[in-house]
Amino acid sequence: MYISESLLKAAHDDQGYVLVPDLIPSDLLPALRAACDRVIAKTRTGAWPHRRTVGKQFPPFDDAHPDSWGVQHVMHPALGEPVFAQWYTSEGVRTVSAALLGCDVGSLQMELFNLLINPLNHDFALRWHRDDVRENATPEEELKALASWSRGVQWNTALYEDACLYLVPKSHKVPRTDEQRVHSTTLEPPRDPLAMPGSIRLVLQRKCPSPCVWSVDNDMLTTLSIAGETVFYNSNILHCATYDAQQRRATLHATMGDTRGGSSRARNVLQHGLEWMQEKRFRETLDEGGQRMLDALVEMRNGVQGEVGYSLTG
């Protein structure tokens, strides 16, 4: 990595997102791509039932539509793809996550790891949302929710060019303006995401002629390939996404927490149904550091009384 961790954290804290160019070691990229091909095929043929279903934006996902925009639980031992846990618990992912969270790697909490894919035959989209704040929250409720949302990171790591995600920089700290509320209180996805005041579209893993020339702090770098360009973003930043059935997508989508968050992230994480992570056979797929991270998740789970419910409708 050529950008210092403190600069990454400063940008993430200030803007609500930050790009990291090279989160996948080049020797893992072919294995991750091949594993993605296999789990996507299983999902599309119905052999893997845990999927994000076209027509349903947020959990709980149902089975009402044959097409899918995501594969859930890629580290699940029943999928038999250990490379996903290997990468999720790799030194690079842990180091960047801990740096953004401002914690020790020993305090990291294992959370979600899913795969975002293009539907095969149906374009789909997500409405403007914050992952754990309802669309009808008052400005006071928004402020309170945003102020307590610093103990987790979320990221998208693109294996192919990905222009699906839109977000409003800096909106992770402040309630929506009246005009932004107009664009984000409906359950319908926007016709034009860029009509949202302040929004930008992110393009990861943009195809470019080889060799690419990068300008970083006035240094010119030359690189032949870029593996796994990643956006880390505060999941309560105002964001939405569009899915084009014609545009191949395989983007690793994950979250990681910090044990100092206590149960603050329980609903956001556990609503996806993570009971399988408590099985011995999953634990056995992890190295010592991964098992420590899993222990933190199980401890959070055990501290929750009753049902966590769901963060959003739609």
Contacting residues toward ligand AKG, per CB under 6 A: 116, 126, 131, 156, 164-165, 239, 241
Nearer Cβ to ligand AKG (112/297): 112
Q: How far is the CB of 84 from ligand AKG (least distance, A)?
A: 17
Amino acid at 162: D
Count other Cβ atoms within 10 Å, centred on residue 169.
15
Q: How far is the CB of 305 from ligand AKG (least distance, A)?
A: 26
- DSSP-H helix ranges across 178-287: 178-182, 266-270, 280-283
Q: Are 107 and 293 in contact (CB under 8 A)?
A: no
| Cα angle for residues 15, 123, 40 (degrees, 5° grid) | 85
Nearer Cβ to ligand AKG (17/282): 17
- Cα–chain-centroid distance for residue 204? 13
Handedness of CA 64, 67, 71, 77 (dihedral sign): positive
Q: How far is the CB of 158 from ligand AKG (least distance, A)?
A: 9
Q: How far is the CB of 171 from ligand AKG (least distance, A)?
A: 13
Q: Are 145 and 133 in contact (CB under 8 A)?
A: yes
Instruction: Look up residue 142 and give its two tokens.
Output: 């928004």
C-alpha 70/C-alpha 72 separation (Å) is 6
Nearer Cβ to ligand AKG (107/232): 232
Listed in sequence order, the residues at least 6 apart from 184 whose beta carbon sits closer than 8 Å to its beta carbon are 127, 128, 129, 135, 176, 196, 238
Amino acid at 151: R
Nearer Cβ to ligand AKG (191/280): 191
Q: Taking CB positions, which residue lies at the least distance from ligand AKG?
A: 241
Nearer Cβ to ligand AKG (146/164): 164
Nearer Cβ to ligand AKG (259/311): 311
Q: How far is the CB of 242 from ligand AKG (least distance, A)?
A: 9
Phi (first) and psi of residue 99, to 5 degrees: -65, -45
Q: How far is the CB of 44 from ligand AKG (least distance, A)?
A: 17
Nearer Cβ to ligand AKG (87/155): 155
Q: How far is the CB of 53 from ligand AKG (least distance, A)?
A: 13
- Three-state secondary structure call for residue 141: helix
* Inter-axis angle of helices 91-101 and 5-15, nearest 10: 50
